[in-house]
Amino acid sequence: MRFVLSSTGLRAAAAGCVAIGAAILMSACAATQNNSPDVIAGKRLFVSKCGSCHTLARAGTKGMVGPNLDQAFEQGLKDGLGRSGIRALVRDQIKYPNLQGAMPAKLVDGQKADEVAAYVAQSVAKAGQDSGLLASAVKKAGGGKPAVAKAGTLQIDADPTGQLAFVTGQAKATPGKIAVKMQNKSGTPHDIVIDGKGKGQIVTNGGTSQFSATFAPGKYTYYCSVDAHRQAGMRGTLTVK
């Protein structure tokens, strides 16, 4: 999910909502008809559907395609926009995305959209980390055991939740010809690349990105070349020895 306003645009929208209090109260009221949205489900949905485009510190997402949501709403909060107002703004962006933007309509809908909006609203520009059940709602990406090549094949899968990471940041292999493969079970597009060795195709929803090359002893960086995924942390080190 990508909120189509720029960071500046979101801040301006937030400030504008403060100025038109009656309108935002009506929108907030509509967004809060469900008084107890499941923010744990909202966090999981945000990470899988929105995190590839947006940074939100408490969710642990580092997407760089869309605006950084912490920065986008920070000034609005200082200017008096309450978190219920942010919830309404986010809910409306999900329900009525810009037709010229990248976010499709109804990426999440109904109760799920309320859950995402509620989690974002309570989390943006908020110091510290999630606690309790929220802290463990989404498994930390990239912390798996090193991938080890077997019978000439090295499998390094993308994080299945859609986070911008491989399941591990470390891989090992012996010198020789290696088939490098990455399965991506998420709906976020990824590929796997090692400069000078090969580049797999971009895949989603269970597809496999792969290439083969001959490796001499040394260290190599594998990464995803889609958008700014590498810069957001989707990379790792392959040690061949």
127 shares its domain with 156: no
| pTM of the shown model | 0.75
Is residue 142 in a domain?
no
Q: Quick check: is 69 in a domain? A: yes
My answer on whether 171 and 82 are in the same domain is no
Instruction: Pick the last residue of a domain from 134, 168, 200.
Output: 134
Q: What is the pLDDT of residue 149?
A: 98
Do both 91 and 166 map to the same domain? no
1 occurs within a structural domain:
no
C-beta atoms surrounding 175 within 10 Å: 12
Q: 86: which 2 tokens?
A: 């942010």
Distance, CA of 150 to CA of 36 (rounded, Å) = 49
Q: Note whether 61 and 69 are within 8 A (CB).
A: no
- Residue in this structure with the two tokens 């990508």, named with its chain if needed: 2
Whole-number pLDDT of residue 70: 97
Quick one: 55 and 165 in the same domain?
no
Domain boundary among 134, 156, 174: 134
Domain stop point among 101, 134, 167: 134
Domain coverage including residue 105: 7-134
What six digits make up the tokens of 64? 């760089």
CATH (domain of 178): 2.60.40.420
Number of domains making up the chain = 2
Residue 44 lies in a domain: yes
Average pLDDT per block of 10 residues along the chain, 241 residues long: 52 45 40 70 94 93 91 95 95 86 82 96 96 92 92 97 94 98 95 98 98 98 96 96 97
Residue 129 sits in the same domain as residue 154 = no
For residues 120 and 151, state if they share a domain: no
Q: Are residues 125 and 209 in the same domain?
A: no
Q: Which residues on adjacent β-strands are paired with residue 76?
A: none
66 plus 183 within the same structural domain:
no
Considering the domain architecture, whether residues 89 and 206 belong to the same structural domain is answered as no
Q: What is the pLDDT of residue 103?
A: 78
Same domain for 107 and 186, yes or no, is no
Q: What CATH number did the domain enclosing 63 receive? A: 1.10.760.10
User: Could you give the CA distance from residue 13 to residue 26 in angstroms, rounded to a whole number?
Assistant: 16
Residues 125 and 171 in one domain: no
Task: Determine, yes or no, domain membership for 115.
Answer: yes
- Does a structural domain hold residue 2? no
* In-domain check, residue 77: yes
Same domain for 121 and 178, yes or no, is no
* Cα atoms found within 13 Å of the Cα of residue 136, Cβ hemisphere only: 2
What's the pLDDT at 32? 41
Q: What is the pLDDT of residue 9?
A: 52
